[in-house]
Amino acid sequence: MRYAQGGGLTDERREFREGVRMMAAEQFAAGEPSSAIAKELRVSVRSVQRWRRAWDKDGPRALRSAGSASLPRLSEAQFAALETELAKGPVAHGWLDQRWTLARVTTVIGRRFHKSYTLQGVRKLLLRHGFSCQVPARRAVERDEEAICGWVKETWPQAEAPRRRSGHGSSSRTRPASR
pLDDT in tens, 28-66: 999 999 999 999 999 999 999 999 999 999 998 999 988
Q: How many CB atoms lie within 10 A of CB 24?
A: 24
- Rounded Cα distance, 47 and 11, in Å: 21
CA nearest to 104, candidates 53, 174, 92: 92
DSSP class of 69: S
Mean pLDDT to the nearest integer, 121-130: 87
Find the Cα–Cα–Cα–Cα dihedral 140, 145, 150, 153, rounded to 10°.
90
Q: Are 120 and 109 in contact (CB under 8 A)?
A: no
Residue 155 has pLDDT above 50, yes or no: yes
Q: Are 86 and 109 in contact (CB under 8 A)?
A: no
Residue 131 has pLDDT above 80, yes or no: yes
pTM > 0.75: yes or no: no
Burial category of 148 from C-beta neighbours within 10 Å (exposed 0-12, middle 13-18, buried 19 and up):
exposed
CA nearest to 49, candidates 66, 33, 62, 26: 33
Terminal C-alpha separation, the chain = 56
pLDDT in tens, 23-34: 999 999 999 999
Query: Residue 46's pLDDT is what?
Result: 96
Q: Which residues have CB under 8 Å from 111's CB, separation 6+?
A: 93
- Rounded Cα distance, 99 and 135, in Å: 10
- Rounded Cα distance, 53 and 56, in Å: 5
